Amino acid sequence: MTIVLLDDNEMDLFVSSKLLENLHADVIVKGFTNPDNALDFLQADNSVIGLFVDNQMPGMSGFDFLAMLIENDIILPYMAVLTASLGTAERSKYAQLSRKVHLFEKPIKPDQIRLSLSL
Amino acid sequence: MANRDNAIMYIDDEEPNLVAFRAIFRREYHIHTASDADQARQILSENPDIKVIISDQRMQGITGIEFFASILQEFPEPIRIILTGFADQKAMLDSINKARVYRFLSKPWNEHDLRQTIQSAIEIYDTRRDLKRKQHDVEVALEHLNKFIHTASNEMRSTLVSMHGIVRLSLSNPEGVDVHEFLPLLERGIVEIDLQLRNIINHYNNNRHLSNIEEISLEEMVQQASETLEALIDLSKLRMRITNPLQTSLVSDAYKVQLVFNNLISHALNNMAPNQEYLDIDIDMNPEGDGAQIIFTDNSMYVDTDLSGTLFETMISGKGKNYVTLYLVKEAVHNLKGTIEIDSVENAGTSYIIHLPNQRLEQRDDRTA
């Protein structure tokens, strides 16, 4: 079960990777700090069960990245956004996307993600 | 003091009065005259610098008070003076209440009284404009301060959230956790927050009025910057070369000059490309005009060189992490009355051309007195 994680902050990438890997023995996390590399991986690999994207990244925000995936018909079973502060504005913004996007505040709570991913 | 740069307008439907007015005051003010309300409006539209309007009260088709009341919305700033030979109480009250007239003078005018009234009106106009400008400056400064607080708080909170994640990870899997793996990450977080707090302190010191003007060696400033940073960041990847060090000294505020070097070096270190082996910094210092030119070149990653007023918005949107550091450089150079040009090329590096003028040594005494 491959989960793709995109976060420009290496410390957050490290922490979130470890927390996601601890969700289940079969979970493999592919971490990226660069959106282009993450996109290349998603286009080439169709075994990805979930994608976690940081909301605030330089150059391309989490919202822009997900919007781009949807526009290019790269459909994933599960998409989530990680953010340092989750408010009404963030929820409304992601509700505009045509696909369901889960929102989690950093640092992620493993139990919450496990439940959401039905692991 | 009369000044030909001060523009005033006189409105009167009697041509000889206009001629007389122009003849008397043409050497003291930049004079516009109008013989009716339409012409006056046209002149006001074309000359937004008019400070004082003097109008005859009794004109054909419109009174001076009616004219002033009609332009109040569109041209609220010029100071208004009414001239009349038939002053009655109602007209005076209307002039104050409806047309915000500054003075009411009798006609034919007394040259001395009219001159003094025009001069007072110009002073009021200038004071109001000055006050408005200062109020605007205060609002802009407050806006900047609010954004600075917002940005710095967000950045620090983001680092704290990361550190919280590390703690949560350790707690969630205590048996499989090697604490030593996480301690360097926690230390990195602490250093990042420390840098943010230093930025806030620097911002305060950058803008305080007191400054210590002295003769400084730019080479020493660079060395001190390295020593300060060494306590915070790993400088083992830094290779720094200084050209012409001994030839260039400067009379300036040592604190602000050091802040410039501190922040340029730390910004370059924070923007090293992943897997970049060394950070090469070249600092070329030359006497130039009444001051010094510093060319700071590094081979860090490309940086957005736009340090205009939109910096804070850029940061808040997540596009310009670490840019507070560069913003403080710009702020320090600006406060030293210098200039800064930035040029960044992708995969090559960034160069900063800074000119810092010599300050006057006696400024120290002026400012600290």
User: What pLDDT shows up at residue B308?
Assistant: 53
Which chain A residues touch B272 with a CB distance below 8 Å?
A: none
Q: How close A77 gets to chain B, by Cα (Å)? A: 26
Q: Domains of chain B: which residue ranges?
A: 7-109, 132-207, 210-369
Calpha distance B317→B297 (Å, rounded): 28
Give the residue, A88 or B310, on which the prediction is more confident: A88
Token readout for B281 is 């910094």
Are A106 and B165 within 8 A, CB to CB? Answer: yes
Are A19 and B318 within 8 A, CB to CB? Answer: no
Lowest mean pLDDT among A51-65, A86-100, B92-106: B92-106
The top-level CATH class assigned to B210-369 is: alpha beta
Q: How close A109 gets to chain B, by Cα (Å)? A: 8
Which chain B residues touch A62 with a CB distance below 8 Å?
A: none
Which of 3.40.190.10, 3.40.50.2300, 3.10.129.10, 3.80.30.20 is the CATH number of B7-109?
A: 3.40.50.2300
**What is chain B's mean pLDDT, rounded?**
83
Are B161 and A84 within 8 A, CB to CB? Answer: yes
What is the CATH code of the structural domain delimited by B132-207? 1.10.287
Token readout for B353 is 């051309």
User: pLDDT band at B18, cuts 50/70/90?
Assistant: very high
Residue B33 to residues B40, B66, B191, B228: CA-CA distances in angstroms?
A: 8, 18, 68, 66
Are B168 and A9 within 8 A, CB to CB? Answer: no
DSSP symbol at B223: H
User: pLDDT band at B66, cuts 50/70/90?
Assistant: very high
Q: Is the pLDDT of residue B318 over 70?
A: no
Q: Residue B322's closest CA among B271, B258, B262?
A: B271
Which chain A residues touch B162 with a CB distance below 8 Å?
A: 9, 11-12, 15, 106-107
Ordered alpha helix ranges (H), chain A: 10-21, 35-44, 62-71, 88-95, 110-117
Which of B12-26, B73-87, B147-161, B331-345 is most confident? B12-26
DSSP helix/strand/coil, A54: strand
Lowest mean pLDDT among B20-29, B66-75, B92-101: B92-101
Lowest mean pLDDT among B64-73, B184-193, B267-276: B267-276
Question: Which CATH fold topology does A2-117 show?
Answer: Rossmann fold (3.40.50)
b/e string for B258-272 if b means 16 or more Cβ within 10 A?
Answer: bbbbbbbbbbbbebb
DSSP helix/strand/coil, B202: helix
The chain A residue lying nearest B182, using CA atoms, is: A15
Q: Which long-range contacts (CB under 8 A, 24 or more apart) does B95-104 make?
A: B95/B64, B95/B65, B95/B68, B98/B65, B98/B68, B98/B69, B99/B64, B99/B65, B99/B66, B99/B67, B99/B68, B99/B69, B99/B72, B100/B68, B100/B72, B101/B65, B101/B68
Phi, then psi, of B303 in degrees rounded to 5: -120, 145
The answer to whether residues B356 and B250 touch, using CB atoms and an 8 Å cutoff, is yes
Q: How close B155 gets to chain A, by Cα (Å)? A: 10
Q: How close A44 gets to chain B, by Cα (Å)? A: 24
| Strand-pair partners of A83 | A105
> Tell me: the pLDDT tens digits for A20-58?
888 888 889 999 999 999 999 999 888 899 999 999 887
User: What pLDDT shows up at residue B298?
Assistant: 92
Lowest mean pLDDT among A101-105, B58-62, B93-97, B283-287: B93-97
> Tell me: the pLDDT tens digits for B244-277?
766 678 899 988 898 899 989 988 888 887 778 8
> Tell me: the pLDDT tens digits for A102-115?
999 988 888 888 88
* Whether complex ipTM tops 0.90: no
Residue B154 to residues A56, A98, B150, B330: CA-CA distances in angstroms?
A: 11, 29, 6, 22
Are A19 and B162 within 8 A, CB to CB? Answer: no
The answer to whether residues A15 and B169 touch, using CB atoms and an 8 Å cutoff, is yes
Q: Is the pLDDT of residue B364 over 70?
A: no
User: pLDDT band at B345, cuts 50/70/90?
Assistant: confident
DSSP helix/strand/coil, B349: strand
User: What pLDDT shows up at residue B218?
Assistant: 87
The chain A residue lying nearest B321, using CA atoms, is: A58
Identify the residue among A18, A22, A65 best suited for mutation to test binding to B, counting B beta carbons within 10 A and taking the highest: A18
Q: How many CA atoms lie within 13 A of A17 on its CB side?
A: 17
Nearest to B172 among A11, A19, A58 (CB): A19
Query: What is the end-to-end Cα distance of chain A in Å, rounded?
Result: 10
Calpha distance B74→B44 (Å, rounded): 10
Lowest mean pLDDT among A94-98, B96-100, B263-267: B96-100
Q: Is the pLDDT of residue B323 over 50?
A: yes
Quick one: CA dihedral B59, B63, B67, B70, positive or negative? Answer: negative
Which chain A residues touch B318 with a CB distance below 8 Å?
A: 56-58, 61
User: pLDDT band at B314, cuts 50/70/90?
Assistant: very low
Q: How close B256 gets to chain A, by Cα (Å)? A: 29
Lowest mean pLDDT among A81-95, B200-214, B300-314, B341-355: B300-314
Phi, then psi, of B284 in degrees rounded to 5: -105, 120
